[in-house]
Chains A and B, each alone.
Chain A
Amino acid sequence: MTITAPTKAPRARGQSQFSVAWSQFRKNRLAQIGGVFLILLYLMAIFGPFLAPDGLSTYSTTNITRFHPPTPIQFRDPETGAFTRPFVYQYGQELNLDTFVNEYRPTDTRCPIYFGVRGDEYRLLGLIPGNIHLFGTGQESPDCNVYLMGGEALGRDLFTRIMYASQISLTIGVGAVLISTVIGLLMGAMAAFFGGIVDTLIMRLVEVLSAIPGLFLLIMLRSVFPQDINPIFALYMILGLLALISWGGLARVTRGQLLSVRELDFVSAAQALGAGNSRIMIRHMLPTMTTYVIVGLSLGIPAAILGESGLSFLGIGAVEPYVSWGSLLAQAQEGGFSSITQRPWVLIPGFFIVFTVMAFQLLGDGLRDAFDPRKRS
C-alpha cells in the first residue's frame, strides 16, 4: 500500500477580469485569426506607399490609360521558356471601329520589373520620407507601367490606389467609433449624474437622432458644408459626422448602467470616504462599463467602416485626391451598367472592405464571448 503524499496545490490566485478574458480569448482560434489579419491589414496600410509601385495620383497626361486591364506578370521568357527577370508587356490602345470602345492589346515591348526601385516620393506615417518602392518598372521608360489590379478611371494604378485608400478606410471607421464612444459615455454620464432637465434634454436628443434615418441625416449634415471643401477637411468632416450620429445607443446604456450602479454599496462607501463627485464618476462608476465598451468598440468599428465606405460610394465621403475603398467602388458605376462586364477589376476594392469587416467581426465576436461569463468553458 502506498500512500501518495498530498501534492501541495499552488495557491489559487485571484484572477482579474482581463486575465480571465485573455485566457478565454487564447482558446478562440477564429478570433485570433481575425486579430492577425487585422494586424496585417494595418501594416499594409502603414507601408502602403512602399508596397505600391506608384504615387497616390500619378498618371500620365499624354498617354491616357483609362481602365487599363490588369497586366499579368510573366516569369518565363516566351521564346526560350527559361526563367527570366519578371516582366509585363506594354499595352497598346486601339479604337474598335465596330463598337467604338477603346481596346487594350499587349504589344511585344517588355517592361522589366525591378525590386526596390526608386520612384515617387512619399512619407510613411506622414513623417519618414522615402522614395523606394517594393516593385516597379523604374523611371527609364515612362510608358511602361505595371497594373497589378488594372487601372481606374484616370488611368492610375488601381493597386496603388487601393493601398492608399486602405489608410483612409482603416482609420476613419476606427476614429469615428472612438469619438462616438467618448461622446456616448460623456452624455450618458451627464444624463445620469445631473438628472432633471439635462437628463430629459439628452435623452430626447438621442431619441430624435434615432428617429431620422441615418443616411438622410448624414446627407442633410453634409449639405451644410459647401460642395468644394478642402479634401483633408472632408475626411475630418466625415469622421465627425459618423461619430455624431452614432453615440445615442451607448449614451442610453451608460445612463441606465450608471443609474443602477449609483445605488450600490461601493459607491456609498466611496462617498463615505469623502471622495469627490468626479472621482466617484471616473474611478468607480465608469469602469463598470469597461466590458460593454470594449465589446461595443470591436463590433461598432466594422459597422463604421461599412458606413464610411457607403458614404464614399455615394460621393459624400472621401474626395479627390484622397480615396477610400468605397469611392474606388463608385467607379464601377461610371459609364452605365453594361461597362462593368468590360472591367470587372474595378470590383476588387470591395473585397478589401469585406475582408476587413470580417476580420473585425471575428475579433469582436471573440472578445464578446471572452468577456461573457455564460460562454466560458
Chain B
Amino acid sequence: MIPFLLRRLVQSIPTLLLASVLIFFVIQLAPGDFLTPARLNPGISPEQLENLSRNFGLDRPVWEQYLRWMGNMLQGDFGLSFQYQQPVLDVVWPRIKNSMWLVLLSTLLFYAIAIPIGVYGAIRQNSLGDKSINVVLYFLLGFPSFFLALIVIYFILLARDATGLDIPVGGMTSNNYDALSAPGRVWDVLKHLIIPAVVLAVSDAAGLTRVIRGQMLEVMRSDYVRTARAKGVSERSVIWKHTFRNGILPIVAGIGGLLPAAISGAGFMEVVFAYPGVTPMLLTAIGTQDLYLIAGFNVITTILLIIGNAISDLLLAVVDPRVKVA
C-alpha cells in the first residue's frame, strides 16, 4: 500500500509541475504583471509594493520569476491577495473547507441516489418503473444544474410562503449561528447544506444512473452469472456480489475523473445558493484582477485533485482484487 502511494506521488509530480507552469504562464499573459492592480490600489503603500516586487523578482526574467513563485509556494506562501489584503492561503482555505463539505455531502448523495436506481433499472428492465425512471432521467440530463437549482428555489419559496415553514435557502449559516450550541451549529449548517447538495446530486446522478444500468445489464448476460444462478445462489447475492461488483469497476476507476466535475458543479450551486464557497470568491477575483488568488487557488485544487485520483486508484484495488496496488 505505502509503496503504491509513494509511486503515485512521484508520478504526479510532473503533472503538478506542468500544471503550475501552465497556470503561471496563463497569468503572465494578462496585461501588466501581478502588481498592476496593486499599484492602482491606494491601500497599498509604495514600500509594500517595493517589497512584493523584490519578493517575487518582477525585475528578473520570466523563468526566474516562475522559480521564485514555485519556491515560495513550496514554503506555503501563495502570495498576497490584493482584494483582501491577506495571504492567499488564509483567504482561500476556509472557503475550500466550506466547498469540501458541499462536495462531500453531494457526492455521498450522488451515489446513494444513482446506485439503487441504476440497479433497480437493470433488474426490472423494461418494467413500467424502469421506463418512467428513464424518461425522468433523460429530462434531467438536459437541465443545467443552476437552472434546476433556480426552479427548486422557486418552489421552496412558494412552499415557504404557503406553509410558513422556515426552510433555509441560501447561505451556510443562520443569523443566530453564533448563539447556537455546538450540535445546534452542526444541525444549522447541515440544514443549509442539504438542499444544494441534493440538487447537485440529482442533476449529476442522471448520467451515472444510466451508466450503472447499462453496466449491470451487460454483466447480467455473462456466463458466470448464469452459472451462479444455476448453482442456486440466492438472487440477492447474484445481484450484489456477482453482478454489481463487476459492473461498477469502470465507475470506480472513473471516480478520480468525476472530482473535477463535482467541484465545478458545486461552484454553480454556491453561486445560486449564495454559499460561501470558492467559486463566488473567484468570480469577484476576476473583477478585481486578484491574480495571485486565482493562480494560488488553481494550484491548490490541482493538488487536491491529484490526491483524489490516488484515492480512486486505491478504491479500485479494494473493489477489484485483480488490480494489484503493490
Contact = CB atoms under 8 A, between A and B. Distances in A.
Contacts of A341: 154, 157-158, 161
22 contacts: A207-B18, A208-B18, A210-B260, A211-B302, A212-B23, A212-B301, A212-B302, A213-B259, A213-B260, A213-B263, A215-B267, A220-B26, A314-B271, A316-B283, A338-B157, A340-B153, A347-B147, A350-B151, A356-B142, A357-B141, A357-B142, A361-B138
Contacts of B257: 210
B222 to A, nearest CB: 15
A246 interface: no
Interface of A: 204-205, 207-208, 210-217, 219-227, 302, 306, 309-310, 313-316, 326, 329, 332-333, 337-338, 340-341, 344, 347, 350, 353-358, 361
A337 B268 contact: no
B261 interface: yes
A315 B295 CA distance: 20
A220 B299 CA distance: 11
B144 A310 contact: yes
B115 to A, nearest CB: 23
A215 B154 CA distance: 25
Contacts of B174: none
A302 B154 contact: no
Instruction: Give the contact-size bracket for chain B.
Output: 35 or more
Interface stretch (B46-54, B83-91, B286-294): B286-294
B276 to A, nearest CB: 15
B312 to A, nearest CB: 13
Contacts of A357: 141-142
A309 B144 contact: yes
A355 B286 CA distance: 32
B110 interface: no
A300 B260 CA distance: 18
Contacts of A227: 286-287, 289
B141 A361 contact: yes
Contact of B272 (A211, A333, A344): A333
Given A207-B15, A316-B283, A347-B154, A213 B147 contact: no
Given A223-B30, A227-B286, A353 B150 contact: no
Contact of A219 (B141, B259, B283): B283
A223 B285 contact: yes
B326 interface: no
A215 B263 contact: yes
Contacts of B170: 337
B27 interface: yes
Contacts of A217: 298
B22 interface: yes
SS of B interface (majority):
helix
Contacts of B287: 227
Nearest to B268: A310
A220 B144 contact: no
Given A208-B22, A211-B302, A314-B283, A358 B144 contact: no
B244 to A, nearest CB: 23
A41 to B, nearest CB: 13
A216 B257 CA distance: 15
Contacts of A224: 26-27, 29-30
B169 interface: yes
Please list the 9 inter-chain residue pairs (A to B) with the smallest Cβ-Cβ separation, ordered nearest first: A215-B264, A357-B142, A350-B147, A213-B260, A358-B142, A354-B142, A224-B30, A223-B286, A208-B18
A7 to B, nearest CB: 39
Contacts of A213: 259-261, 263-264, 301, 305
A20 B114 CA distance: 35
Given A225-B30, A340-B153, A357-B141, 11 more contacts: A211-B16, A223-B291, A224-B29, A314-B271, A329-B146, A329-B147, A353-B147, A354-B143, A354-B144, A356-B142, A361-B141
A309 B279 CA distance: 16
B31 interface: yes
Nearest to A313: B146
A225 B274 CA distance: 26
Contacts of A216: 263-264, 267, 282, 297-298, 301
B154 A220 contact: no
Interface string B236-276: 00000000000000000000010111011001100110100
Contacts of B14: 204
A223 B294 contact: yes
B154 A344 contact: yes
B122 interface: no
A314 B27 CA distance: 21
Contacts of A340: 150, 153-154, 157
B142 A302 contact: yes
